[in-house]
């Protein structure tokens, strides 16, 4: 059966800005990149995929070693990254020091705090404790 989300994708035209945001600002570890197509990051037990949408819309050639179907989204997406409740204040400080504007910062009815920012491509990036959804990680 299914056990969780292995990877999640967002799309960005400027992969270097995405690399700076996800790698340097958020501190995720880059694990793979292909110039003009994608940059991938490890995030705990998952992977954040950042694709250039236009490059991923091109289907692979017949007989390609990796026959990944074409995909690609238009417009801003959403990604929520898990953060320990005890680490949220430090994360907010890190974001502010990096010049990242906080778009929203509030507590849900169950008491879990969510902080929202925009990545350089305009994707909505949320940070919240897994308890938001009743998960224990």
For residue range 50-64, what is the model confidence (pLDDT) as tens digits?
Answer: 999 999 998 888 888
Residue 14 region by backbone torsions, left for phi larger than 0, else alpha for psi between -120 and 50, else beta = beta
Token representation of residue 31: 């694990």
pLDDT mean across residues, the chain: 93
Q: Answer whether 30's CB lies under 8 Å from 134's CB.
A: no
How do the domains of the chain map onto residue ranges?
7-57+74-133
Q: Which pTM was predicted?
A: 0.93
Residues near 77 by Cβ (< 8 Å), separated by ≥ 6? 9, 10, 11, 123, 124
Token representation of residue 14: 């400027």
Q: pLDDT per residue over 18-45, tens digit each? A: 999 999 999 999 999 999 999 999 999 9
Fold topology of 7-57+74-133: 2,3-Dihydroxybiphenyl 1,2-Dioxygenase; domain 1 (3.10.180)
Token representation of residue 41: 């990051």
């Amino acid at each position: 059966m299914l056990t969780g989300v292995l990877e999640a994708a967002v799309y960005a035209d400027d992969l270097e800005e995405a690399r700076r945001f996800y790698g340097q600002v958020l501190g995720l570890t880059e694990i793979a990149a292909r110039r003009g197509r994608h940059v991938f990051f490890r995030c705990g037990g998952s992977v954040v995929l950042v694709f250039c949408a236009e490059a991923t819309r091109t289907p692979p050639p017949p007989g390609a070693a990796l026959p990944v179907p074409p995909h690609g989204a238009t417009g801003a997406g959403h990604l929520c990254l898990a953060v320990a409740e005890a680490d949220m204040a430090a994360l907010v400080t890190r974001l502010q020091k990096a010049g990242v504007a906080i778009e929203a910062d509030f507590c849900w009815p169950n008491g879990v705090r969510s902080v929202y920012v925009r990545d350089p491509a305009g994707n909505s990036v949320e940070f919240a404790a897994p308890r938001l959804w009743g998960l224990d990680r």
